[in-house]
Structure 1
Amino acid sequence: MSLQLEKARFIPFSRNDIVRLLLDEQQLKKTDRKKLKDVCDLLMHVYHFEFHQSLETLKECYAPVNPDADTKAVFSANKSELKEKEKRLFEALNGLLDKANFEKITDKDLALSMEESSLFQIKLNVDFDDFEQVLFFRRGESKRRETLVSMLGLRKKIIEFINYDRVVVIVKFKPQSYFDAKERGQLYFKPGSTIIKYFRNIPRCDLEMLFPNTEVRMKPIDKAIIAVPAAVGGAIMLATKLGATLLLCGALIAFWSGMRTEPVELNQANLLVLAIGFGTLGAFLWKQFSNFKNRKIRFMKTLADNLYFKNLDNNMGVFHRLIDAAEEEECKEAMLAYYFLLIADKPLSADALDQQVEDWFKESLQHVLDFEVDDALQKLVKLGLVSSTASTYQAVSLDQARKKLDQQWDDYFNY
């Protein structure tokens, strides 16, 4: 069955490239192109300032549950204040991710992804009871192919899978009392804390490897690879190297249990046979245990290597990345909507504007986009860059747009 991709609202081109493309359209006179560049620059500065306040809110609300904090708390918050900050944190994060055009991965989507076979051919186990809250978000989606090799390279299989370009994971752990009750002593995370992870290029079928408490488990085939040779090797060893030892042990057990009347002489030769036999058995068992541990270590290394190169940022650092991503998306949407309204020869409806922008992306960049026209128009209305009737919108002139954005900037600090 062919995998289907949905139209995405994320614009996978940089703001600078979008501006350059619009200026290269030659739809405006040279002097007006300079004014359009000014409008785009002012938009960037306006959104940069407004999102800075969002960053400060996130930092304030995250401080009590930040596991990486290197500052000492001067003022302690009570339970109700902590709850309020936690609520504000998750609301701010959800809003920021939405503005950065991330899509939420629902519990149903996550369950379906965990049913799919892992691309890295390892079995993972996640204890969901450790978490109070789990949120996954994704941005950018593509179809990819990978060749899986098995049976010592004798078998190759090409699989098609959906890859997420960016994934954000937000996990809040349960408090210390929960882990104490389960007698979980050695923990690699701070109970009660909230961790935020940012990853790149994650196959949908391997989302479970992003959980912080993931454990590597062996598949039945992996257990068989260890068990079958061990059973065969054990049978051969019993028949060839432990025969004398088994006979001597059997004679001793029979004598001690009363099934044999003739005593067994434990001379130097017999003791040497016992020592060699038990030494051989111990070495064999240790080898099989080492095979099991080494195979599990290889699986854990595979998991660690993949996460190491796919991890982009953690905790507080993720805020800065998301703020930058949201600024970019908000700017691009506003610039595109304003430009296409500006060059139109008549006022446009939201649907007509939406179609023009999406057609431009398809023709100029060969990209299918689900442009967020309603959100873009709301931004322009708020900034005073369009005039509207009941059903149509028209851009104000470039001179007016520059004045309004300049006034917006001046009014941020009006003492």
Structure 2
Amino acid sequence: MKVRLLSLLSDMATYQDREAFIPYRRSDLIELCLDDGQLPKEKVQQFRDFCTLLSAYYHFKFHVYLERLKDNYDPFNPDADTQTRIELTPDKLAEREANVVTDFQTILERANYVPLSPKSLQRAFKEKSLIQLKTDVDFDEFDQLICYCRGDHEKTIQVKKFLKKKDKTINLFERVVLLIKFKDADYFKHKGDELDSIQFTPGKMYLYFYKNIPKFDLELLFPNIKISMTWKDRLFLIVPAIGAAIPVILRVLPKLLVVIAAILFFTMGPSVLDTIQASEEDVRNIMPVLVAVLSLLVTLGGFAYKQYSNYKSKQIKFRQTVTETLFFKNMANNASVFHALIDAAEEEECKEIILVYYHLLISQNSLTPAQLDNQIESWMDNKFGTKIDFDINGPIHNLENIRGKLMQDGKDTANLPEIPLLTKDKRGCCQVLPLDDAKRLIDYIWDHIFLYT
């Protein structure tokens, strides 16, 4: 997967095959930093305390995001079980929809997810699935379509081909997030769709969160997917039937006149035989002809039924795959997706800040953002064999915006200036407050989050 390239600084390493996601839990990453052995023993607990304060602060910040998302999403929630206080105007609905989309994309990017455009999705749909059926997803039915993913790796599976099992390499997305806002009911009525027969509610917004989805199965995640026969299925159904029918038809064709005569004989009487020049004996000995015709119909019908049964079996297997995907690989739906992604974004931002702060804290030399970025990536690779494309700009920006006052022995802080947790000198090198001051700074911010008096 191609990830965002950091082009701000020319001497910063960039990668086409790495992601910004840090594959360790926040608590484990803290211990990995401490296991590095670069901090003095008396600073170990202080570092843990700093990380605890930082995590609490960011938990509160992301809680604000969560509440805003829930409020804006409520009119579009297909699972809502509460009553609305007022009826929103179309303008207000459009405003809330835009707010959901903007905040949702922000959270996904802060959780180090990368977007898949509708064009990329359509290209992925063209990849052959393991079950050969024609699928179709109508993108025109959507007012909004947002798809993000994280983690791109290959997996080898065994598939049956001509009674043998063969290894097949498939590409998986470890995480896939999908937001779909369907058009209103009038659109589907105009199309001629029966509203009771569709599997979704027009005008509502659906969110899906899945794990380990093959690229060629992305269309399975869409609730408006339609399946039908491929051209190969149709040819297998039609061509052999025609081939089997031709010799029987050629054998029966000379006696079709007799069949017609028999029908006329039994419906209009013997006098009609003179008109079509057929003998009464041939008409009365029609049984061999009827047997031949019947054998033709049975042969064609049996073959058609067999081919149609094969198609239905594939269809059932496809629906089973869809069911297994939706059930066993589903992690969250609709409003619960917000909770999962807020937690992921909170984790990623805290991990990034902790890594930046730790490496600036232990560094013997001043580091520019580019040097710091390379040092963190090398540390992760050399220590743990983990290759990442660290996003240095985000955590530096966050550390610069964590601002507060350093209280001194309980003195009045009115005249004290606010200072950031991270500053840059004239050369652009980064510096952070020492642990004692950093803890006091965040403690001050935490104490002044609510200023009602």
Whether TM-score is above 0.5 comes out as yes
Percent sequence identity is 35
Residue 331 (structure 1) aligns with: 350
- Pairs within 5 Å for 1:33-182: 33-153=44-164, 156=166, 158-182=167-191
- C-alpha contact 1:346 1:394 (8 A) present in aligned 2: no
Aligned counterpart in structure 2 of residue 183 of structure 1, from 180, 192, 204: 192
User: What secondary structure sits across from 1:148 in the alignment?
Assistant: strand
Question: What does residue 399 of structure 1 align with?
Answer: 436
The answer (yes or no) to whether the contact 2:229–2:311 under 8 Å persists in 1 is: no
Displacement after TM superposition at 1:225 (Å): 4.4
Q: What is the distance in 2 between the residues matched to 1:294 and 1:221?
A: 15
Larger Rg: 2
- 1:5 to 1:373, Cα distance in 2 relative to 1, 3 A: closer
- Give the Cα separation in 2 of the matches to 1:177 and 1:337: 52
TM-score normalised per structure 1: 0.88
Give the RMSD, CA atoms, in angstroms.
3.2
In the TM superposition, residue 71 of structure 1 has moved relative to its aligned partner by 1.2
Shift of the 144–273 alpha-carbon distance from structure 1 to 2, 3 Å rule, reads closer
Counterpart residue identity of residue 369, structure 1: I
Q: Equivalents in 2 of 1:222, 1:5: separation in Å?
A: 40
- 8 Å CA contact 2:110–2:349 kept in 1: the answer is yes
Equivalent residue for 1:252?
262
| 1:293/1:145 CA distance change after superposition, 3 Å | closer
Cα distance in 2 for partners of 1:295, 1:172 equals 30
Structure-2 separation of matches of 1:143 and 1:273: 58
Cα–Cα, structure 1 residues 37 and 220, in superposed 2: closer, same or farther, change >3 Å? same
Residues 114-140 of structure 1, C-alpha deviations (whole Å, 9 max, x = no match): 232224444321112211221110111
Contact 2:115 2:148 in 1 (8 A): yes
Corresponding position of 2:8 = none
On the 8 A contact 2:133/2:314 being kept in 1, the answer is no
Aligned partners of 2:54, 2:387: CA distance in 1, in Å?
25
Provide the secondary structure at the position in 1 that maps to 2:181. strand
Q: What TM-score, normalized to structure 2? A: 0.81
Kept in 2, the 8 Å contact 1:216–1:299? The answer is: no
Match for 1:252: what amino acid? Answer: A
Amino acid at match of 2:35: D
CA drift at 1:108 = 3.5
Equivalent in 384, 391, 394 of residue 375 of structure 1: 394
Per-residue deviation, 1:68 = 1.0
Contact kept, 8 Å, 1:226 with 1:291, in 2: the verdict is no
Q: 1:166 to 1:237 in 2, by over 3 A?
A: farther
Aligned counterparts of 2:365 and 2:310: Cα–Cα separation in 1: 75
Give yes or no for contact 1:5–1:141 (8 Å, CA) kept in 2: no
Does the Cα contact within 8 Å between 2:26 and 2:351 map onto a contact in 1? yes
Contact kept in structure 2, 1:58 and 1:319, CA below 8 Å: yes
Cα pair 2:76 2:204 within 8 Å, conserved: yes
- Flag the 1:160–1:182 CA change in 2: closer, same or farther, 3 A: same
- Quote the offset at 1:209 in angstroms: 2.3
Does 2:365 correspond to 1:340? no
Gaps of 5+ in 1: none
Offset, 1:410: 1.1
